[in-house]
Structure 1
Amino acid sequence: MTTTVLDAVTHLLRETGMTTVFGNPGSTELRMFRNWPDDFTYVLGLQESSALAMAAGHALGTQRAAFVTLHSAGGVGHALGAVFNAYRDRVPLVIVAGQQARSLLQLRPFLGADEPEQFPRPYVKAARQPQRAADVPAALAEMHRIAMTHPRGPVFLSVPEDDWDQPAEPVQPRAVHGGFTADPDALTALAARLNTCGRPALVIGPGVDDEAALPQAVALAERIRAAVWFSPLSGRSGFPETHPYFQGILPPVAGPLAACLEPYDVVVALGAPVFTYHVADDGPLLAPGTELFHLDCDPTQAAWLPTGTSLITTLRPALAQLATLVGPSDRNPPPTRRQPAPVNASANNALTPELVLDQLHQRLPHNRVLVEEAPSHRDVLHARIPISLPGGFLTTGSGALGWGLPLAIGRALADRQRVVCVLGDGSALYSIQALWTAAQHQAPVTFIVLDNNGYQAVSALGRRLGITPVPGTDIHGVNFTALATSFGCPASYADHSHNLGTALDHAITSLGDDDGPHLLHLRVTDTAGLLYEP
């Protein structure tokens, strides 16, 4: 019996654990679905960017690459914002897009993609359209290895629709051990500097969580008594925010960021894109006298960093080696971070973000994964809901909205553990149709929509720049409860403090891992300040 491309690919997907397939099918993918295997699950997203973000959540939950199918050029175009997020956030995805039949490509056919391997660049690690149908399985195996090698990320393969029925040789997956460590002399020099410095600090980037290096990061911080900060706009956590050495999140503005790090003579950034800025100012990268070391697995990060010393390495072996090279410190530990005071209900019983997040924190089990895409409220969320669970916080570190809602669905489907997803109203509307998928698969996700009637983060940034009002930032009249129920997702609503507790009890406390999704729509007051206070 002749082995076809489809047979070989199905075998490869099964052997690499990619039996949950995310996508939105079209005509150029139909032959791929012939004789669909009983042990495969197809997760339908009603728009390609949502399908890809769900795949990303699944990959983050399983720590394996996830498989996504997109529909030709149009589907890839729809998904590119999510591809951008996956690339910047180092999420391993194997993306296959349908292409028109090889016999039609010279005729520029309907749905055909011109230069398909160029379309998703530069936001994929690799992209190809194999020259022969017989090469598709081997190319897919290579793409999987690339996706899973540090720094991990999405890869792309374009497959003409008539390739699936052509003969091909089976391909066996092979192991690639991707951990590598820095030059021993460089680590020794870094350890010597940490032994002699006066006030060290660690900057924790998303790479710490991505490489499961949190225990090693905590051990190093405690051994050298270092203050710990998160890198600006990080898509992950990577250090327990309840730890007494944790100081907060660095602002994405050069001057204020340098001021936060000015007290330290040695700063070691771990798995962080140093530094991510969102607002331009004339401040320095670092204050005079602050020495920067940068440990990361991505050589491109090391290349563009304009200051400091970079060590190209994966984190766990490097941090384990550092722990043997640095001595225990007797320097004073960093000061304990001030915690915000609890807030009470306002005189008119309106819901403030601070009140909502305080109440959420009281009800949130310690083992719940929290997904956030509420730019207006992110600083308040971290101040009032400290994350301590490894892998317990996910957001977009890149800024393309519409990521959080479907990301939470994919993360919940990875292990069927309930996820709590906090969304702004503007963010939720980018991918609201993903609620249908959550309902169809009974994904255990509680969605909490903090509705402040618009893109208030954009308005706050406008105020910082002296632009007020900002046109196009108001959103009124959206009934999220009705939207959710129309997609089959149960929903509830609250707009006063007197019914907030009951609403949160139902959406958080009473729902377990065996229950399906629920959306809680909360009408909250506007956030009036500037974005990124100086």
Structure 2
Amino acid sequence: MRTVRDAAFDELRRHGLTTLFANPGSTEIPLLADLPDDLRFVLALHEGSVVGAATGWAVIRDEPALVLLHTTAGLGNAVGALATARANRAPLVVLVGQQDRRHLAHEPFLTGRLDSLAGDYPVRVETPLRAQDVPGALGRAVHAARTGRGPALVIVPMNDWAEPAEDLPAPAPAVLRPADGARAESVAEVAALLTGARAPALVVGAAADSPGTWSALVALAERLGCPVWQESFGARAGFPQDHALFAGHLPADRGRLRAALAPHDLVLTIGAPVLRQYAYAEGPLVHPGTRLALVTDDPAEAHRAPVELAVLAPLADFCTRLAARVPPRAADPVPPPARPRPAPPAAGGPLRTAHVMTALAERLPADTVVVEETPSGRPDLHALLPARAPLGFLSAAMGGLGFALPAAVGARMAEPRRPVVAVLGDGSLLYQVQALWTAAHYDVGAVVVVLSNGRYAIMDRLVEKAGGKGPWPGFEDISVHGLATSLGCPAERITDHGRLLAALDAAVPTLRTRTRPLVLDVAVEPDPAFEP
């Protein structure tokens, strides 16, 4: 007898969802027992790692990844990671197990009140009304994840999988084609704004992180002769950061933001929010003489943007047409001065984050995926380790910790020959250190550089800035090297500059071919000049 489980597997195959990231429980046994050989099962030891690895996979491949979570505990543990996936525009199809449908009304053990547990972060949540609706729900979730750029949940009671696949309703479309062209009127309207501006500037963001959009934005910026800023707290790079017109990362406080954009009478944001802030401050985003416009493929981003013109369009096509339409202008922009690379530390002197970033910048191939999660080290990374290729930088747009390590694992699994290096603080590592086991068990050749200072340096600086003292202790007694090796991951402890250079010189040539992860546990001292 053909079952709902059989039909569901066929639906997943039809959409290419044959790798399953999971941390399962008893309600998923009917689905997973004797899993077909063509379906790949990837175990992570915490649901944050499950969703984080799937997010890395989905971002690198630009296609949905498949996740399996275990009722209330699994979905509850994963909510923060699902929020990050939504902010990172990562398409995920998330199967959530539920107790047996036949006694749900009595709320048996392991029943989950699941429909609203993840709040508004999923782009779609569906609990099929009957078992035979499960395959169609999976197809609908695939399309919702793609078009909504986020996690789509399907909640399945455990007995549904064994039900007969009779009278299945018509499935979701095998292929759904979104609008793929920009309207000529919209292109003309934005071109007119740029042509009429005295001193335009571009702000780019994560949604522009594709080869086609990068190429189009380079052409547009060069025709305009204008600076290109990266959005603050961006999850991905929207422009080659080694280009002469790249102006840097926008500050995330209003005073410095207004100062940075003051020379410009028009700021066109492409593929990013307008203009993302951190701590609230009084005053407008820009000076009164600066006009704001937006081009995005995200309806929610367009709806909330404080601009005079917002355009919804596919970015690569729109920017290509826009670059061809605006006339070239004579301009001689002055790029901001490059941040000088630090001198090596004196013999026996402490390593700083800038020393590590400089060493990485001098060695990493241009197409390396750098996955970042080091709040106190991010300014040094941005200044010294620019993104030079699409998908060259990946971070958590939501801001919560626990993303970088599992995302690096998923990214490397998605592209096994592309170099992947995670750069994170030891505090960040501890949120999802379990992901090292997955990397080791599945022979994932990512390199993890841990900036170990035994404290939450960003929190220390923020509380000092507020004029107080934090109640939290340091955690210098935790051994990152020991944790990594206990999880089966090779690791090196590095305490001096010479050893850092030697370790990188040994590891970097292997980045494309290595099949084992490596943790470099680098002891660093916080930079006393760091300003949060």
- TM bracket (short chain): over 0.9
Residues in 1 aligned to 2:182 and 2:383: alpha-carbon distance in whole angstroms: 35
Structure 1 equivalent of residue 153 of structure 2: 156
Q: Indicate yes or no: 2:451 matched with 1:450.
A: yes
Secondary structure, counterpart of 2:377 in structure 1: helix
Alignment of 1:7-406 (within 5 A): 7-114=6-113, 116-149=114-147, 151-168=148-165, 169=168, 171=171, 173-181=173-181, 183-209=183-209, 213-335=213-335, 337-346=337-346, 348-406=348-406
- 1:66-89 per-residue CA deviation (whole Å, 9 max, x = no partner) reads 000000011000001100000111
Asked if structure 2 preserves the Cα contact closer than 8 Å seen for 1:203 and 1:230, the reply is yes
- Look up the SS of the partner of 1:255 in the other structure: helix
The alpha-carbon distance between structure 1 residues 181 and 261, as it changes in their structure 2 partners (threshold 3 A), is farther
Once the two structures are TM-superposed, the CA of residue 480 in structure 1 deviates from its matched residue by 0.9
Q: Within 1, Cα distance between the matches of 2:19 and 2:251?
A: 38
What's the CA shift for 1:427? 0.3
- Is the 2:226–2:331 contact (alpha carbons within 8 Å) kept by the matching residues of 1? no
Q: Secondary structure at the match of 1:247?
A: strand
In the TM superposition, residue 48 of structure 1 has moved relative to its aligned partner by 0.6
Post-superposition offset of 1:343: 2.0
The one-letter code of the counterpart of 2:442 is H
Per the normalisation by structure 1, the TM-score is 0.95
Shift of 1:420: 0.6
Report if the CA contact (8 A) 1:460-1:528 is conserved. Answer: no
Measured after TM superposition, the shift of residue 461 of structure 1 is 2.1
When the two structures are superposed, what TM-score results if normalisation uses the length of structure 2?
Answer: 0.96
Is contact 1:236-1:395 (8 Å) kept?
Answer: yes
Q: Distance in 1 between matches of 2:336 and 2:277?
A: 26
The whole-number CA distance in structure 2 between the counterparts of 1:528 and 1:156 is 45
Alpha-carbon distance in structure 2 between the residues aligned to 1:529 and 1:132: 61
Q: CA deviation at 1:473?
A: 5.5
CA distance in 2 between partners of 1:76 and 1:448 (Å): 30
Whether the 8 Å contact between 2:416 and 2:512 is mirrored in structure 1 is no
1:44–1:51 contact (8 Å) kept in structure 2? yes
C-alpha distance in 2 between matches for 1:377 and 1:62 = 28
Post-superposition CA distance 1:403-448 (Å, at most 9, x none): 0000000000002123111010100000001100000111010000
Q: Distance in 1 between matches of 2:494 and 2:211?
A: 39
How is 1:497-508 mapped onto 2 (pairs within 5 angstroms)?
Answer: 497-508=497-508
Shift of 1:300: 1.7
Equivalents in 2 of 1:507, 1:465: separation in Å?
41
SS at match of 1:375: coil
Q: CA deviation at 1:222?
A: 1.1
2 CA distance for matches of 1:518 and 1:485? 10
* 1:434 partnered with 2:431: no
Alignment partner of 1:423: what SS?
strand
Measured at CA, do residues 284 and 172 of structure 1 come closer, stay the same or move farther in structure 2, by a change above 3 Å? closer
User: What secondary structure sits across from 2:376 in the alignment?
Assistant: helix
Query: In terms of mean alpha carbon deviation, does 329-338 or 268-277 score higher?
Result: 329-338
| Contact 2:341/2:358 (<8 A) preserved | no
What is the DSSP-based 3-state SS (H/G/I as helix, E as strand, rest coil) of the residue aligned with 1:466?
coil
Q: Is the 8 A contact 2:450 2:521 kept in 1?
A: yes
Contact 2:274 2:306 in 1 (8 A): no
CA distance in 2, matches of 1:240, 1:210: 11
For 1:405 and 1:134, the matched residues in 2 are separated by 38
Deviation for aligned residue 1:172: 6.8
| Whole-angstrom CA distance in 2 between matches of 1:508 and 1:217 | 30
Kept in 2, the 8 Å contact 1:55–1:66? The answer is yes
Q: Is the 8 A contact 1:207 1:271 kept in 2?
A: yes
- Measured at CA, do residues 440 and 56 of structure 1 come closer, stay the same or move farther in structure 2, by a change above 3 Å? same
- The range that moved more, 204-213 or 311-320, is 204-213
Q: Which runs of 5+ in 1 are unaligned?
A: none
* Contact 1:12/1:172 (<8 A) preserved: no
Offset at 1:466?
Answer: 2.5
After superposition, residues 404-423 of structure 1 pair within 5 angstroms as 404-417=404-417, 418-423=419-424
Conservation of the 8 A alpha-carbon contact between 1:495 and 1:522? yes
Q: Is 1:216–1:319's contact at 8 Å kept on the other side of the alignment? A: yes
Mapped contact 1:235–1:394 kept (Cα < 8 A): yes
Q: Secondary structure of the residue that 2:143 maps to in structure 1?
A: helix
Q: Aligned AA for 2:125?
A: A
CA contact (8 A) 1:245 1:336 kept: no
Q: Is the 8 A contact 2:181 2:313 kept in 1?
A: yes
Q: Which range is displaced more, 176-185 or 245-254?
A: 176-185
Letter matched to residue 90 of structure 1: R
For residues 411 and 511 of structure 2, what CA distance do their matches in structure 1 show? 17
Give, as a single letter, the amino acid of the residue that structure 2 aligns with 1:356. V
Q: Partner letter of residue 56 of structure 2? A: G
State the shift of 1:513 in Å: 2.0
Identity of aligned pairs, percent?
Answer: 38
Letter in 2 for 1:326: V
- SS of 1:310 mapped into structure 2: strand
Is the CA contact 2:14–2:174 (under 8 Å) kept in the aligned structure 1?
A: no
1:319 and 1:67 mapped to 2: Cα distance?
32
AA aligned to 2:159 is D
In structure 2, the gaps of 5 or more residues are none
Residue 349 (structure 1) shift:
2.4
CA distance in 1, matches of 2:473, 2:527: 13
Name the SS for the 2:463 alignment partner. Answer: helix
Whether contact under 8 Å (2:21, 2:53) holds in the other structure is yes
| 1:462 matched to 2:460 | no
Q: Distance in 1 between matches of 2:141 and 2:43?
A: 23
- Does the CA-based 8 Å contact 1:457-1:531 persist in structure 2? no
Q: CA deviation at 1:231?
A: 0.5
Deviation, 1:193, is: 1.8
Aligned length: 528
Q: Is the 8 A contact 1:370 1:421 kept in 2?
A: yes
For residues 335 and 78 of structure 2, what CA distance do their matches in structure 1 show?
Answer: 44
| TM-aligned CA distance change 1:211 to 1:286, over 3 Å | farther
Q: Which amino acid counterpart does residue 459 of structure 1 have in structure 2?
A: D
Shift of 1:212: 5.1
Native 8 Å contact 1:443 1:517 kept in 2: yes
